[in-house]
Amino acid sequence: MTDIRQDVGQLLWFGFPGTELDPATRARIAAGRMGAAILYRRNVAQGDGGDDLAAVAALNASLHQAAADAAAPLLIAVDQEGGRVQRVRSPGTVWPPMLELDGFDRARAATLAAQLGEGIGRELCALGFDVDFAPVLDVQTNADNPIIGDRAFATEPERVAELALAFARGLDTAGVMACGKHFPGHGDTHTDSHLELPRLSHSLERLENVELVPFRRAAKAGVPLVMTAHIVFDAIDPDRPATLSRAVITDLLRERLGFAGLVLSDDMDMNAIADHYGAGDAAVAAIEAGCDGVLACNDVASQHDMFETLVRTAETNPAFRARVGESAAAVRRVKESYAARQRTAPGLDVVGCAEHVALARRIVEGERGVG
């Protein structure tokens, strides 16, 4: 059996401070105590013309190099959806929100979604990223939703599925892994899970016909990663948020929908979790529920607590140790499969290139005046 601490490390997706790799994070990666790194705006250095793209690429190279002697390579992830949520901006392409696609006819919207995914993927690949926390698979059914809104692809579930999966295929073409989010669906909430714990009282029939449609299609299409939502769904599990619920993650996503990829939690530092559960206990509950990775994006103390609690629980609970080993093996298989693709990254000149800027402009303008 593999080392417990190495296995736990594979389950941890952590943010870190600064625009250069700090010694503590480097040591954590080299020791195998961090399976993936997540970049935020705080990690993007600024230059005279906006984001310093060369510095971002250098940071990612140093992150990958830090894992050179670790038991498994490091994945580097970022939220680059377009619209409000894109960590790398100008002089990279400033992409439109995905809801802009809902204004095009079906065939054209799907083509543009694939082009957007490939364009975003090419820029991320050039910068050294491996995973994009996109596409959003939530259906925008609540105009007053404070967190999803124009991040969604559409207001109708089948259209969301079609456009989001076209986007995911574009990312894959560019050599970047897609992560669909936020399971089982964040599109109809009235509150922001960054701030509090939302609850949805929809019937299971409603969930089957609306929220679950894009995720069912994503599972069938083989999307490699899915991220959970920190939301209580009364019809599935009235006692626990989806991230911590075996009924949601294992019974519904795995067994009923047939999802075979990696399941990641949303950020465990969000108030929906942090205000109700300790970081370490929440991480254990998420892995027990069926998650393969847990995110802690901001709080270093939470990250330490998660690692130590997961290790301690695995050392004293054989069933949980087996569960950790199962997910760690799944993470390693994904990393090995991804590494075997031997992608060739484009040069940095693709980031913010004229072709991508024109694509973004055409979508915002509805292709008016475009020949």
DSSP assignments along 310-366, one per residue: HHHHHHH-HHHHHHHHHHHHHHHHHHHHHHTT---PPPGGGTT-HHHHHHHHHHHTT
- Whether 251 has a pLDDT exceeding 90, the answer reads yes
Q: Under 8 Å CB-to-CB from 266, ≥6 apart: which residues?
A: 181, 182, 193, 227, 228, 229, 230, 243, 295
* Domain membership flag for residue 7: no
Q: Average the pLDDT over 219-226 and give the result.
A: 98
Tell me, what CATH number does 225's domain have? 3.20.20.300
Residue type, 296: A
- What is the residue range of 179's domain? 14-364
Q: Catalytic one among 130, 138, 266, 267?
A: 266
* Domain membership flag for residue 371: no
pLDDT band at 369 (very low <50, low <70, confident <90, very high): very low
Question: For the chain, how many structural domains are there in total?
Answer: 1
Check residue 341 and give its pLDDT: 85
pTM: 0.95
* Domain membership flag for residue 116: yes
- Whether 192 has a pLDDT exceeding 50, the answer reads no
* Domain membership flag for residue 9: no
- Whether 325 has a pLDDT exceeding 50, the answer reads yes
Q: Which of 21, 81, 79, 14 has its CA nearest to residue 45?
A: 21
CA distance to 7, 89, 225, per residue, from 50 (Å)? 39, 8, 31
- Whether 71 has a pLDDT exceeding 90, the answer reads no
* Domain membership flag for residue 370: no
Q: Average the pLDDT over 181-190 and give the result.
A: 77
**Tens-place pLDDT, residues 140-171:** 988 777 678 899 999 999 999 999 999 999 99
Q: Average the pLDDT over 196-209 and give the result.
A: 83
Check residue 189 and give its pLDDT: 58
* 276 part of the active site: no
* Domain membership flag for residue 8: no
pLDDT band at 313 (very low <50, low <70, confident <90, very high): very high
pLDDT over 70 for what percent of the chain? 95
* Domain membership flag for residue 251: yes
Check residue 363 and give its pLDDT: 96
pLDDT band at 337 (very low <50, low <70, confident <90, very high): very high
* 266 part of the active site: yes
**Tens-place pLDDT, residues 106-121:** 999 999 999 999 999 9
Q: Catalytic one among 64, 150, 192, 194?
A: 194
197 within 8 A of 275, measured Cβ to Cβ: yes
pLDDT band at 188 (very low <50, low <70, confident <90, very high): low
**Does 135 sit behind a cis peptide bond, omega within 30 degrees of 0 on the bond before it?**
yes
Check residue 172 and give its pLDDT: 97
**Tens-place pLDDT, residues 16-49:** 999 999 999 999 999 999 999 999 999 999 999 9
Check residue 141 and give its pLDDT: 86
- Whether 61 has a pLDDT exceeding 70, the answer reads yes
* Domain membership flag for residue 122: yes
pLDDT band at 330 (very low <50, low <70, confident <90, very high): very high
290 within 8 A of 211, measured Cβ to Cβ: no
